[in-house]
Amino acid sequence: MNTHRIASLTARRCWSGARPSRSSFVSQQRPAAPAFHSAAANFNPSTSVRHPAIVQRAQTKGQSALHNNFPHQSHTNLNRPLHTPTKMATDAVSAAARIEESKRLAASQAVQDHLLPTYTHIGIGSGSTVVYVVDAIASLPRSVTSQMAFYPTGDQSRDLIKAAGFRLGYIEDLPRGQMLDVCFDGADEVDPALNLIKGGGACLLQEKIVATAARKFVCVADFRKISKNLGTEWKQGIPVEVFPMAVPRVLDELKRLGSTGAKIRPGTPGKAGACVTDNGLRIVDAAFKPLLTQLPEGKKDGEEGVWTVDGLARRLIEIPGVAEHGLFYGKSGLEVESGAQKPVAAYFGMADGTVKVQTLEKGLVRV
Ligand SMILES: O=C[C@H](O)[C@H](O)[C@H](O)COP(=O)(O)O
C-alpha cells in the first residue's frame, strides 16, 4: 500500500476547489483547522501524525517562515504580545494534527469492528476521513483484501481505491438483488438520531446510492461533527445537488421554504466559476434554522422556517431540478434490511485520543 500516494490524493480530492473553507466555521467545539489552501496546511498531516518528529519539524518550519513574514517582530522584542502570529500558526498546526489523528482513530476502529474478512463487496465514501479507512483496510493481509471489490462514491474515492491497489467495483454492475456488505463514509454533521449532513466536499448523490446499496453503512468522523441538531455545527447550509438549468428556480423555492441565504457554491480557489460535481451538476448550500428530530406539539413542519430533518429532506427532493441533497435520514440499517440512509453506527475520533461510537440503541459511548 502506498500511504504517501493516498495522502497526496487527499490533497487533490474533489473538494480541493469546491469545499468551503473549514476556517469559515464559527464553533467553540471545533478548533479552527487551517483552510487546506493556507500555508500552514501545506504540511502533510497524515504522515506527520505518525511521526512526531515531523510534526516538530513542521512546527519549527512554520515558525521560521512566519518570522520571515514579520521582520519587524525581532527576536529581542520583549514587548511582543503573548499570542503572536507565530504562536497562532503553531497552535493551528497542532490543532490540525489532532483532528487528523482523530479521523485516523475513528477509521481504524470502524474498520476493525465492521469489516469482516469474509466480506467481498465494500463501499468507499468520499472525504478526508475515508482516506484513513482505505489506509486501515490496506494494512490487512493481501490474501484478505484481494478477495474484495471496492465501490467508489466519486472521483476521489475511485482514485484512492486504485492507489491502494484494490479491485475497483462498479455499482452499476452489481447485479440486481445483490448488496454491498458494508459501506464506510464520512459526514459533516451527525445528530443523536444518526441523521447526517453530507456533501461538504460536493459528493453526495453517488454517496447516497452506494450507502443505500449496502447492508451496513458505517460513518467515520472526528469530534467536530457531533451535534445536537443538524445545522448547529455545520453552518454553511445543507448541500443540494442541482441541475444547472434549474438553479435559479431552486434558489427561489429554497427561500420560500425558509432557507436563509441559499447560494451557489463557488469553485474558487481551485476553479473559477461554480463548483461542478462529479456528476456535472451544481451545489447549492441552503442554510436553515437548526433541524429538529421531532416536531413540537401543535406545530406544522416548515412553519416559520422550522423543519424536522425528515420533513425538510422529503420536501427538498420534491423540488424539480434537485438531483439529491445531503440530508441522510429516515431509517437506519438496524431498522430496515436495505436502503437505509442513516448509518448503523457513527465512529468519532475524539480530541483526547479516544474513540466514541454512536448507535441508536446505546447513544454515544466510548469504545
Ligand atoms: O462531500 C463530501 C462527503 O459527503 C464527505 O463524506 C463529508 O464532507 C465529510 O468529509 P470529511 O471526512 O473530509 O470531513
For residue 275, the domain's CATH number is 3.30.70.260
Residue pLDDT, tens place only, 97-156? 999 999 999 999 999 999 999 999 999 999 999 999 999 999 999 999 999 999 999 999
For strand 327-328 and strand 196-197, is the pairing parallel, antiparallel, or unpaired? antiparallel
* CA distance linking residue 290 with residue 129, whole number of Å: 25
What pLDDT shows up at residue 70?
29
Q: Which three cell numbers, joined as nine digits, stand for 222?
A: 472526528
Task: State the closest ligand 1 atom to the C-alpha of 225, by its place in the atom list counted from 1.
Answer: 14
CA 349 to chain centre: 13
Q: Whose CA is nearest to atom 8 of ligand 1?
A: 200
* CA distance linking residue 247 with residue 255, whole number of Å: 12
279: domain range? 238-328
* CA distances, 202 to each of 127, 238, 323 (Å): 9, 11, 13
CA of 252 to the centre of ligand 1 (A): 27
In a domain, 11, yes or no: no
What does the DSSP assignment read for 141-201? -HHHHTT-EEEESSHHHHHHHHHTTPEE--GGGSPTT--BSEEEE--SEE-TT--EE--TT
* Whether the CB of 325 sits within 6 Å of ligand 1: no
In a domain, 23, yes or no: no
Conformation bin of residue 325: beta by default, left when phi > 0, alpha when psi is -120 to 50: beta
Task: State the closest ligand 1 atom to the C-alpha of 203, by its place in the atom list counted from 1.
Answer: 1
Is pLDDT above 80 for 53? no
Is pLDDT above 80 for 256? yes
* Whether the CB of 10 sits within 6 Å of ligand 1: no
Is pLDDT above 70 for 41? no
* CA distance linking residue 128 with residue 104, whole number of Å: 10
In a domain, 264, yes or no: yes
In a domain, 22, yes or no: no
In a domain, 167, yes or no: no
In a domain, 284, yes or no: yes
Is pLDDT above 50 for 71? no
* Whether the CB of 20 sits within 6 Å of ligand 1: no
Place 90 in a pLDDT band, splitting at 50, 70 and 90: confident
User: Using an 8 Å Cβ cutoff, are 122 and 149 in contact?
Assistant: yes
In a domain, 266, yes or no: yes
For strand 196-197 and strand 263-264, is the pairing parallel, antiparallel, or unpaired? unpaired
- Per the structure, the count of domains in the chain is 1
Is pLDDT above 50 for 327? yes
CA 266 to chain centre: 18
What pLDDT shows up at residue 82?
59
Conformation bin of residue 154: beta by default, left when phi > 0, alpha when psi is -120 to 50: left
CA of 198 to the centre of ligand 1 (A): 6
Q: Which three cell numbers, joined as nine digits, stand for 6?
A: 493516498
Residues acting as catalytic residues: 207
User: Using an 8 Å Cβ cutoff, are 114 and 218 in contact?
Assistant: yes
Q: Whose CA is nearest to atom 3 of ligand 1?
A: 199
In a domain, 253, yes or no: yes
CA 277 to chain centre: 15
22, 36, 129, best to mutate for ligand 1 pocket (most atoms within 8 Å of CB): 129
* CA distance linking residue 351 with residue 276, whole number of Å: 33
Is pLDDT above 60 for 34? no
User: Is the pLDDT higher at 173 or at 77?
Assistant: 173
